[in-house]
A and B are shown apart, each in its own frame.
Chain A
Amino acid sequence: MSTRDVTVPVVAPATPWRQRLGTMVPILVLAPSLAASFIYVFVFTLWTLYLSLSNSSLMPTYGFVGLDNYASLWANRRWNIAYTNLFLFSGFYIVGSMAIGLLLAILIDQRVRGEAVWRTIFLYPLAVSFIVTGTVWSWLYNPVDGIQAFVRGVGWTDFSFALTANRNTAIYAVIITGIWQSSGFAMALFLAGLRSVDPDLVKAAQIDGASVSRTYLKVILPTIAPIFLAVAVIQIQFAIKTFDLVAALTRGGPGVSTTFPAIYVYDLMFQRGQIGEGAAAAMMMLAALAVVLVPYSLWIVWRRRAEGSNG
């Protein structure tokens, strides 16, 4: 009877057990997040999908009614306004903020003094919430107290700037404010892209005698084409989810003229007690995102593979 006889049976089974636990640690660390993400992404989506096919009104109920909610959604004039607004907003907002962002990025790229100061000024709206931006701009658009009153006070007495007071123009107030908020973000991404262009390429163009504008058009901008796409996709995502900005700026009005899909979902679910149709509208938002994001992700994967096989 040596001590060895005692210790061996204790240690021998313990080691594989410990090792097995050791290999489990990474999975155990990941597990809670995985479970939460799985529930959040899949269970919640399927849940809302089912609600959109149910006869839920004030409370969620589970009587199956097929596509009725979708039919009444698309028959609704207000939803059609929301959808048209989304297209109008997305188009102007993306083109506007990308154009201004690119202009500012190119200007800053000309070795200007105090680059960090300019960048900070153009980017700060991104740190401010849409609620704050929307509130402040709603005051500026106010014809009695805002920009119109100011310009008239300066002496241009028949100056008119009352976008939010008019059904037909209120959407442009949303567009302008959206561009103000996010063109700095586009600038930051474009600037990073401009900085990543191979300096030898630019030098070669300059030695060939190309002007600055020609160098940008023919050499620099084509090489950062993927960034244009990335910025556009991010902006489209913002546009589809736009809720806060409108909630603070126009509250969907005047009338229903600045209703957006996100506003519509909120209104139906929590103000009007039409949960089924609200869920259908939410599913349409998801569909709109998928239309943009699925092809983009596939393209990214394809590009990575192509780069991988080349390099």
Chain B
Amino acid sequence: MKWKRIPQQLQRLIILAAIFAVLFLIVRSFLIPVDFGKYGHYRASAVEEIIAQGMHYAGQEACYDCHEDVFETKRGGFHQNVSCEVCHGPAFTHAETTDTAELEAPTGRGYCPVCHEYLPSRPTGFPQIVSASHNPMKPCITCHEPHDPEPPQAPAECTACHAEIARTKSLSHHVYVPCMRCHETPEEHKINPRKVLPGKPKTREFCGGCHAQDAPADKGIPRIDMASHNVRYVCWQCHYPHLPEAR
């Protein structure tokens, strides 16, 4: 018998190790849930627990069933893609139960500026106001129908949307150059700002009109030699015309 030939102290150790191994396997089988590892290194039933979480937002398809008229108003408007629950808050309970728990409908001046207050980081062309000076005493909805908002009149000035540029320009020597002198702007741009874009000067001669050596303009205006000064570029490719200070 080989077992007999193993030293006694080792025999005991081996028996102990075997007992521990069996104990470990027994405890393990109790501790590890049955469905652990069924589909991967995790508890399969965890997914069921996670998807059982209650919803708060119903999704705007749910609103359509009862409020079709509002969808008609919204259709084609600037707020067409603004989901109902953006302004009216989570509506799952409202949509699921006949008990028509009242939803919020922000009517004050507080809510619209969350999106429409002027912030320089907002994308150019997104309609923004400075609420402190924009009819400060009137709630937004007195002039703007939130389901189909339209600017009451097309903005008269470029600064209404391009405040960031206007602010920069006001610090520059071009402060007195009106936007339209350089940007040919179709009237349609005010209504469809992204579809119809204004133009930009296409030639060097356009800037040369004031800045060429022999230009018929004020003496204080800086001049360059149009024939030798970086001929292959249009001026605004190097100089930022809204703050053209060469530094």
A binds B: no
Q: Measuring CB to CB, which residues of chain B are less than 8 angstroms from any residue of chain A? A: none
